[in-house]
Amino acid sequence: MDSEEDGAEEELNDHIPDDRQEDAFSLCLKSEQKALLTKAIGELGERDRQVLALYYFEELTMKEIGVVMGVVESRVSQMHTSAVIQLRAKLGKMQ
């Protein structure tokens, strides 16, 4: 390729939308969804919030969470499932 073609190619690439960049609407929607999720999590009971925090943010296993909370692994699993169901219900009502 000669230098003219290289220059034209670079200019064309400058005008092709980058799928990785988010538009203003998508950013606004994400922000709104995050606010709704934060509110819904805040409405959960303390132990449910603790299970979610340990699982999703601290990345502990159900067994490790059980040790921290003083319950068996199956109980942690039940609490996690209950918290997720509650969140889905709350988010469904908020939208």
The pLDDT score that the predictor gives to residue 17 is: 59
The pLDDT score that the predictor gives to residue 25 is: 86
pTM for this prediction: 0.69
Q: What is the mean pLDDT of residues 31-40?
A: 91
Distance CA 49, CA 53 (A): 6
Q: What is the mean pLDDT of residues 56-62?
A: 96
Structure tokens at 4: 């003219």
